[in-house]
C-alpha cells in the first residue's frame, strides 16, 4: 500500500511546534535535508509524514532503513577519524 504524501507545510506542522518558514522548507527539500526525499509535483513538494530532517554533512549520522541488527555505518569516515585509513 502506498503511503499518502503531505505538503511540506503540513509535514512541518506535524514535526515542529513552531514550523520553519516555507522558504526554509523548500531549501531543505532541494538540498536533500529531508529523508526520504520529497517528490515535486509542479510547484509543490510532497513528503511522507514520517520523513525526518537530516544534516548530510554530519559524520557517522546513520539511518537504519532495513531494520536489521547491523545498521548502516559510515565505516570509511570512522577509519579516517581513527587513523586506520591507510592500513591494510
Predicted pLDDT of residue 29: 93
Q: At what angle do helices 22-31 and 8-15 cross, to 10 degrees?
A: 100
Task: List the chain pLDDT tens, one digit each, 88 residues.
Answer: 678 999 999 999 999 999 999 999 999 999 989 999 999 989 899 999 999 998 866 655 455 555 555 555 566 666 677 766 566 5
Domains of the chain, CATH where assigned: 1-56 (1.10.1660.20), 58-88 (no CATH)
Please name which of 70, 62, 66, 25 lies closest in space to residue 47, comparing C-alpha atoms. 25
The pLDDT, as a whole number, for residue 26 is: 93
pTM of the model: 0.61
Amino acid at each position: 500500500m502506498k503511503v499518502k504524501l503531505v505538503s511540506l507545510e503540513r509535514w512541518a506542522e506535524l514535526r515542529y511546534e513552531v514550523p520553519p518558514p516555507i522558504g526554509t522548507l523548500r531549501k531543505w527539500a532541494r538540498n536533500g535535508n529531508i529523508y526520504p526525499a520529497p517528490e515535486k509535483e509542479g510547484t509543490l513538494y510532497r513528503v511522507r509524514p514520517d520523513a525526518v530532517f537530516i544534516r548530510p554533512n554530519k559524520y557517522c549520522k546513520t539511518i537504519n532503513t532495513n531494520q536489521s541488527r547491523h545498521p548502516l555505518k559510515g565505516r570509511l569516515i570512522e577509519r579516517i577519524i581513527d587513523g586506520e585509513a591507510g592500513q591494510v
